[in-house]
């Protein structure tokens, strides 16, 4: 936040590939990622992780104690705080409400499901359906039912404790099937 002089050296931003150079040059200000789709669309999103693996491997986010961020986890143990926990260098993009294969497109690493997070330097394409996918009553055919969800959250499940406090957020807006939009 330029107005208040707030910076985060460990910020995590979801950015469209075409905007990366503009952000780095300062000709574009950072903003949350907003994706749009129509109800019934198959949505392909490729996430590339550009987190520096060394930076996130060596230790806590703030080893010198220069910034404090208790906004996610209150200090409950004397002498130990949220700031002393090291962030993961894996990211994921987890949508709400849309239908997808939990094994491959969840953007998380949970239980016995495959790890669908993305490590440093890697990319992964997620496939989501803007609606509900189910089998018909006979069980012999898959049927897609489009839904206009409106705005739904996109969350980084690569590190559910630390990443949200560093800005890893976005939204997917699922519009009516007949929608058109311009940038």
Residue pair 168/161 in contact by the 8 Å Cβ criterion: no
Burial class of 89 by CB neighbour count within 10 A (0 to 12, 13 to 18, 19+): buried
Residue pair 162/110 in contact by the 8 Å Cβ criterion: no
pLDDT per position as a tens digit, 34-92: 999 999 999 999 999 998 877 554 445 555 545 555 555 666 677 776 767 778 889 99
- The predicted model scores a pTM of 0.83
Helices (DSSP H) in the chain: which residue ranges?
20-25
pLDDT at position 69 is: 55
pLDDT per position as a tens digit, 122-131: 999 999 999 9
pLDDT at position 43 is: 97
The SS3 call for residue 25 is helix
- Nearest partner of 128 among 156, 154, 164, 157, judged by Cα: 154
Q: Two tokens at 112?
A: 């016995």
pLDDT at position 73 is: 64
């Amino acid at each position: 936040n330029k107005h208040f002089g707030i910076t985060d050296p460990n910020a995590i931003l979801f950015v469209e590939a075409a905007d990366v150079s503009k952000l780095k040059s300062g000709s574009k200000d950072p903003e949350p990622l907003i994706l749009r789709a129509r109800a019934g669309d198959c949505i392909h999103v490729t996430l590339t992780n550009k987190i520096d693996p060394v930076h996130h491997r060596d230790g806590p986010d703030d080893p010198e104690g220069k910034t404090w961020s208790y906004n996610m986890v209150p200090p409950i143990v004397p002498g130990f705080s949220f700031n002393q926990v090291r962030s993961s260098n894996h990211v994921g993009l987890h949508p709400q409400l849309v239908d997808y294969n939990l094994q491959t497109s969840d953007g998380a690493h949970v239980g016995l499901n495959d790890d669908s997070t993305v490590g440093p330097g890697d990319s992964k394409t997620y496939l989501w359906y803007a609606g509900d996918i189910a089998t018909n009553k006979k069980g012999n055919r898959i049927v897609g039912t489009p839904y206009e969800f409106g705005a739904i959250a996109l969350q980084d499940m690569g590190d559910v404790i630390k990443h949200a406090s560093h800005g890893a957020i976005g939204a997917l807006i699922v519009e009516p099937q007949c929608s058109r939009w311009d940038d």
